[in-house]
Structure 1
Amino acid sequence: MRERTNWPVTILIALGSLLILIPLYISISIALKNPQELAESALSLPLNLHWENFTKAIEVTNFFSAFKNSAMITIFTLIFTLLSNSLVAYGVARNMHRKLFRNLYYYFVSALFIPFPIIMLPIVKQTSALGLNNMVGLILLYVVYGMAMNIFIYVGYIRSIPIELEEAAIVDGCSTWGVFWRVIFPLLTPINATVGILTCLWAWNDFLLPLVILSDSADATLPLVQYVFQTEFGADYNLAFASYLMAMAPMVIIYLFAQKWIIGGVVKGAIK
């Protein structure tokens, strides 16, 4: 029997695709035009492909230096987040029957309801006093601020893992430390994929936290140099959009190469 096409869903998917593809087309079109073509029309195809816009954008924004800073911050944030947040969540999840750990869980989750602007000024003052107004301090803040959401995600998944697996490992001679790293952490792959991609997107694209924490212009990330470029050379839209596309490209490429692991992890998590 031939399956019928679900037209409402198909139309919604088509509209959703257009909402993504049209802004992307406009961005690429503007990035490949010169100012004269851009003044005539932003929607038309470029008459000539001006690849030199990307070269000029790299020079004006000091792109590679900012790219290196963003990459270092994102990579170290990802590593420390997965290692520390999962370990804390395991300790909380396996001791939820104790009042102390149950209150700790509520304490961590309650941080989700505190807007960053409320604590922004005290954090800036404290990091400056401790000499952490640099990339090291920024990485620590990302790890700490991401803990609320990540523990909320991890705890629910860890509690779904049968405790009998840990008991069997302990009988075989594993310590609590060994149980986590040899038994539990490998089983967290689906959630690690989810937490990892969310952490990368946040650390790579964040603007406010680097703006208020980083004191040295040499530590500036891609969002910061793009902001400075936009304020100083606001009329050069072709160079600005070329810079935006280059800053966006790494996350798109990572997702294209990692999507099978990300999707596979989500499916495994759903099956569990």
Structure 2
Amino acid sequence: MEKKTNWIVTFLIAAGALFILFPLYMAVSIALKTPEELANSVLSPPMGFHIENFAKAIKATNFFQAFKNSVYITVTAVILTILTNSMVAYAIARNMHRKFFKFLYYYFVSALFIPFPIIMLPIVKQTSAFDMNNPSGLVVLYVVYGVAFNIFIYVGYIRSIPKELEEAAIVDGCSTWGVFWRIIFPLMAPINATVGILTCLWAWNDFLLPLIILNDQEHMTLPLVQYVFQSEFGTDYNLAFASYLMALSPMIIVYLFAQKWIIGGVTRGAIK
């Protein structure tokens, strides 16, 4: 039987693709143009590939220093988040029959419903008092604030792992610590990949938390230097867009290669 083409769905998909690709085309086009070409036409493609815009943007934004800060914050936050959040989730998932751990689960998950602006001012005061207004302090905040969502998906996934595997390991003389690191943690690879990728995207692209925490210009992340550059040199759109593309490209690559783990891991963690 011949299948009929659903033209409405096809049109909606094409329109959605156009809405996504057009801004990307504009960003690339503007980044490769000269100021004179921008003045003549914004929508037209560039007459030549002015790669020097990227070199100027790197110099104007101190790009490599900000890139180094973003890499340090992102990589450290991902590693610590996976190691700490997975252990907390394992303790809760295997003790959900106890009132205390059940309370902990709902306590952590309830943090998902608290708007960030409500706690923004107390965070600024506390981080300043504890001398945490630096990249390392920012890493701690990412690990702590990621607990709510990560516990939600971790617990659902861990509860799908048969307890018989742990019981067999304990009979063989394995401690609780050994059971987690030798049996459970390797089995959590798919959900660890999901949590790691989501944390990576969040920490790399986040603007608001670094804005209120980081005071030293040498500690600025890529989103912050883009903001400062746009504020000071608002008319240099070609350099600004060149800088935006350089800041976005690492996470675009990460997402393109890792999107199947993001979607699949969240689904498994939420349903099981």
Q: Residues of 2 paired with 1:116 and 1:270: CA distance?
A: 23
**Structure 2 residues without counterparts, runs of 5 or longer:** none
Sort the Cα spacing of 1:151 and 1:269 in 2 relative to 1 into closer, same or farther, 3 A.
closer
Identify the residue that residue 122 of structure 2 maps to in structure 1: 122
Q: Residues of 1 paired with 2:225 and 2:72: CA distance?
A: 16
Identify the residue that residue 250 of structure 2 maps to in structure 1: 250
- Residue by residue over 1:38-85, the C-alpha shift from the partner in whole angstroms, topping out at 9 and shown as x without a partner, is 111111011121111101000000000000000110000000001110
Name whichever of 137-146 and 208-217 sits farther off: 208-217
Q: Say whether the 8 Å CA contact 2:33–2:49 is kept in structure 1.
A: yes
Give, in angstroms, the shift of residue 115 of structure 1: 1.2
Aligned pairs for 1:235-246 (under 5 A) are 235-246=235-246
Name whichever of 22-31 and 163-172 sits farther off: 163-172
- Residue by residue over 1:127-159, the C-alpha shift from the partner in whole angstroms, topping out at 9 and shown as x without a partner, is 111111111100000000010010011111111
Name whichever of 43-52 and 185-194 sits farther off: 185-194
Identify the residue that residue 32 of structure 1 maps to in structure 2: 32
Give, in angstroms, the shift of residue 7 of structure 1: 3.3
Name whichever of 88-97 and 155-164 sits farther off: 155-164
Kindly provide the amino acid, as one letter, of the partner of residue 124 in structure 1: V
Give, in angstroms, the shift of residue 6 of structure 1: 3.8
The answer on 1:134 being equivalent to 2:137 is no
Aligned pairs for 1:155-234 (under 5 A) are 155-234=155-234
Sort the Cα spacing of 1:271 and 1:116 in 2 relative to 1 into closer, same or farther, 3 A.
closer
Name whichever of 85-94 and 186-195 sits farther off: 186-195
Kindly provide the amino acid, as one letter, of the partner of residue 214 in structure 1: L
Q: Residues of 1 paired with 2:201 and 2:154: CA distance?
A: 18
Q: Residues of 2 paired with 1:267 and 1:106: CA distance?
A: 20
Name whichever of 53-62 and 249-258 sits farther off: 249-258
Aligned pairs for 1:34-53 (under 5 A) are 34-53=34-53
Q: Residues of 1 paired with 2:114 and 2:5: CA distance?
A: 45
Q: Say whether the 8 Å CA contact 1:190–1:262 is kept in structure 2.
A: no
Identify the residue that residue 7 of structure 2 maps to in structure 1: 7
Sort the Cα spacing of 1:116 and 1:271 in 2 relative to 1 into closer, same or farther, 3 A.
closer
For normalisation by structure 1, the TM-score amounts to 0.94
Identify the residue that residue 18 of structure 1 maps to in structure 2: 18
**Structure 1 residues without counterparts, runs of 5 or longer:** none
Q: The residue matched to 1:47 in structure 2 has which SS? A: coil
Name whichever of 260-269 and 161-170 sits farther off: 260-269
Q: Residues of 1 paired with 2:240 and 2:253: CA distance?
A: 20
Q: Say whether the 8 Å CA contact 1:67–1:221 is kept in structure 2.
A: yes
Give, in angstroms, the shift of residue 231 of structure 1: 0.4
Kindly provide the amino acid, as one letter, of the partner of residue 148 in structure 2: A
Give, in angstroms, the shift of residue 10 of structure 1: 2.7
Q: Residues of 2 paired with 1:91 and 1:74: CA distance?
A: 26
- Root mean square deviation, CA, Å: 2.0
Identify the residue that residue 112 of structure 2 maps to in structure 1: 112
Q: Residues of 1 paired with 2:111 and 2:266: CA distance?
A: 26
For normalisation by structure 2, the TM-score amounts to 0.94
Q: Say whether the 8 Å CA contact 1:85–1:150 is kept in structure 2.
A: yes
Q: The residue matched to 1:209 in structure 2 has which SS? A: helix
Give, in angstroms, the shift of residue 258 of structure 1: 4.0
Sort the Cα spacing of 1:17 and 1:123 in 2 relative to 1 into closer, same or farther, 3 A.
same
> Could you tell me the percent identity over the aligned residues?
75
Sort the Cα spacing of 1:128 and 1:225 in 2 relative to 1 into closer, same or farther, 3 A.
same
Q: Residues of 2 paired with 1:136 and 1:152: CA distance?
A: 25
Name whichever of 247-256 and 7-16 sits farther off: 7-16
Name whichever of 10-19 and 194-203 sits farther off: 10-19
Q: Residues of 2 paired with 1:142 and 1:260: CA distance?
A: 23
- Residue by residue over 1:73-115, the C-alpha shift from the partner in whole angstroms, topping out at 9 and shown as x without a partner, is 0000000001110110010011011010001111101111111
Kindly provide the amino acid, as one letter, of the partner of residue 211 in structure 1: L
